[in-house]
Amino acid sequence: MKFSRSIVSFALLATLGTGAAFAHGTPQDDAGKSGAPAFSEVSKDGKYVKRSDLPKDNDAVKELRAHYNEADTNRDGKVDKGEYDAYVNKASARPQNQN
């Protein structure tokens, strides 16, 4: 009886551990899917991004730099993580204009 409880306990712990590992996923934010750097990579304090924080040499955030005021939906002069992810994901969902 004690042996079967051990197996059940082990199986339960293994299942919970596996679920936690899958829940964490990759360290990249949703922005990483579009080729844009993760919010944590461009934010100096982890709370918001200023236009000057955005890299000039990254094509994925070039549009965000050009339309910074559009990304700042609450008009506080800063783009927080939610605004950043929403804008980057919206931009990556648009069909690319190929010439």
Alpha helices in 25-78, H assignment, sequence order:
39-42, 59-66, 68-71
Instruction: Output the pLDDT for position 47.
Output: 93
CB-based burial, 78-95: b 16+ in 10 Å, e otherwise: bbbbebbbbbbeebbeee
pLDDT at 85: 92
Q: What is the pLDDT of residue 59?
A: 83
Spatial CB neighbours of 59, under 8 Å, sequence gap ≥ 6: 35
How many residues are given for the chain?
99
Please say whether the dihedral angle defined by the alpha carbons of residues 93, 66, 58 and 88, taken in this order, is positive or negative. Answer: negative
pLDDT by residue for the chain (99 residues), tens only, comes to 555 666 666 665 566 565 544 444 444 444 545 678 899 999 989 999 999 888 888 887 888 899 999 999 999 999 999 999 999 888 767 655 545
From the list 52, 28, 23, the residue with the least C-alpha distance to 40 is: 28
